[in-house]
Structures are given as C-alpha cells and as structure tokens.
Amino acid sequence: MIPFVWLEQAYERIAPFIKKTPLTFDPQNGLYLKWENHQVTGSFKVRGAFNKILSLNNWELERGLVTASAGNHGQGVALAGNLKHVPVIVFVSDHASAHKIQAIRELGAEIHLVEGGYAEAESAGIDYSRTSNATWVSPYNDGLVIAGQGTIALEVLEDLPDPSIAVWLVPAGGGGLVSGIGSTLQDMKPKPCLVAIQSEASPFMNAIYYHGTQEGVVELPSLADGLAGPVEHASVTIPIVKNCVDDFMLVSESDIRIAIKYAWNVYHECIEGSAAVSLAAVLSGRIKTRPAVAVVTGGNIDPAVHAQIMNDETIDTFKRQ
C-alpha cells in the first residue's frame, strides 16, 4: 500500500497546480459523482504526473522526461514539463485518439508514434528512457504517481456529508488510480467496499485480479481507450489492487455509450469512455448498494465521437433514470 503520509504530501504538493473538482449528489441514483472532467487538462491524470515531476531532483529533470500515454497522462506530463522548463517526449500508439495526441502536442511535448497498441508504445518508451538516460514517468507503476491519483479520495472525503459511504466505484486500467484511492480508504472504519471497473474489451487488470495472469487476454477496440492495454510486468499496482480492491467488474461498450449519453442528458457533463465506466456499472443495475461514490475520471472525448453518441437514437438514456 501507499503510505498515507505520501498521500497527504501529494495533496499539498500539487494543490497550487490543479483544480479541486466538483462532487455532486444524484438523489435519484443515490450516487455521489466526482467530476474530474473539470480538472486541468480535462483528466485526473495530471495529479499523478505533477506529484511525480514536482518530486524529481534537478539532475533527473535535466535529463528530460519520457513517458507513454493513451493521451491523458501525456498531457499531464507535458504540462508539468512546461512548468519545470524541461523537454518531454511522449510515446503514443498510432491507434490513439487524434484529439488527445493533438492536445499533447499543443502543450509542447514531442510525440513519438509507435505502430501497434498501448503495450508497444509503453515498451518503446521504457526502452528509449534506458538508452537515452532520460527520466521515465510511468502512468501508473510508480508510488508517487499513485499517491497523486489518490488525492481524489482525500478531496471526496472532505466534501462528503457522511464519509462512511459503503461503496466506491473506480475505473481501472494499469491500476494507478484505484491503488491510490484504495490506499486512502484502507484504514477507514468501517472500510468502504472498493469496486474496480474496466471495459470488457480490455480486461487485463481484471484477469490479473481473478486469475493471477494477463496471458491470453484478447484486446478489442474500446471507447475506454484510457483503460486499454496490458499492465507492465511486476507493476507495483498489482499487489496493491489485490489487497485493496473488494470486487472487480467489467462493463460492455454498449454500457459505456449509454453512460456517456446519460451524463450529458441528465448531468450536462461531457465525459470520455474511460471516465464513464463507473457510471455505466450503476446504470447497468449491477451496483445495488446506495449511496455510492463514482469517480468520473475525465472528459477528453473526441467531439465527433461524442456527437455521434448523442445523435444515436437507439440509446434512450431517460428510461434508465
């Protein structure tokens, strides 16, 4: 687990550079929603990126920063690199969202496109950092990154009228966010039930959680692109997830589309596929305990994709209220 003092230090360290995002309550669904789509760069990922980079020594910064990203982490690293006046290189799959790639470029980072999926981009980035001696900033396999992500839970606990909410619903990809939140909640009495949620199309961490291996997992295209891809071998998040997560749930692409449209129609919030999985689990009827906290991790969806979902008349979200 991540020491609680690390989480407190991260909260203080990154506070001047991020937004404290809204927490709202939906009485109809008995749901507290943490809206990280309002965050700087439009995603929670900036929390971990800033905590890591603000903790680096000058000699580590002088080497330059290298990372891999599906889009959101790269934006966070690029923004922090701007603050510290150091160059940033982001390795990105050539299948990644063009909308997110452009956002990274606009923040001044150099993009290295890698043929294949996220796994190939991550491997190429790690190899480059080793041969170039640049400083690697993992999206999830780093205690300081995890502590930064866990600051979301500290904010939620500050704002909840009753902190003893029974269930927390958290998206899971490489496990950085759910590890940070799990570390924050671990010593609460009573401890909330922490449910990690992933797409059926890319269930790597789910497979590790239940079967101890991600070998044989077949990945399919997903709206939840930020949760896609295998987990780095021996990632520090693997034992943390196994220790702190109480349940793991998969949602379908249809569930994700419904949640994206529901968020806009009912809450007037634009969210991306990776952010929608926690709400998707609720709308699917599989989360029975209320009230619950759902972490909505970002809003960096391609406008054309969002418009297509909004205009899809086969998705009737109002029947699910």
Claim to verify: residue 36 and residue 53 sit in the same structural domain? no
pLDDT of 317 above 80: no
Claim to verify: residue 33 and residue 156 sit in the same structural domain? yes
- CA-CA distance, 234 to 95, in Å (whole number)? 25
Q: Which ranges of the chain does DSSP label H, i.e. alpha helix?
A: 4-14, 45-54, 58-62, 72-84, 98-106, 118-132, 143-159, 176-185, 204-211, 237-244, 253-267, 273-283, 303-310
- Of residues 202, 136, 170, 223, the one with CA closest to residue 32: 170
Mean pLDDT across 35-51:
98
Mean pLDDT across 35-52:
98
Q: What is the DSSP letter of 255?
A: H
pLDDT of 223 above 60: yes
Claim to verify: residue 181 and residue 313 sit in the same structural domain? yes
SS3 33: strand
Phi, psi of 164, deg, nearest 5: -85, 50
Claim to verify: residue 27 and residue 148 sit in the same structural domain? yes
Domain of residue 100 covers 46-136
Claim to verify: residue 235 and residue 92 sit in the same structural domain? no
- Of residues 313, 309, 320, 306, the one with CA closest to residue 42: 306
Which of the listed residues 136, 166, 199 is the one where a domain comes to its end?
Answer: 136
Which of the listed residues 94, 121, 136 is the one where a domain comes to its end?
Answer: 136
Which of the listed residues 120, 136, 152 is the one where a domain comes to its end?
Answer: 136
- CA-CA distance, 67 to 178, in Å (whole number)? 20
Claim to verify: residue 63 and residue 111 sit in the same structural domain? yes
pLDDT of 320 above 80: no
Q: What is the CATH number of the domain that holds 50?
A: 3.40.50.1100
SS3 135: strand
Q: How confident is the model at residue 163 (pLDDT cuts 50, 70, 90)?
A: confident
**How confident is the model over 69-121, as pLDDT tens digits?**
999 999 999 999 999 999 999 999 998 999 999 999 999 999 999 999 999 99
Domain count across the chain:
2
Per-residue pLDDT, 321? 42
- How much is the pTM? 0.95
**How confident is the model over 188-208, as pLDDT tens digits?**
988 999 999 999 999 999 999
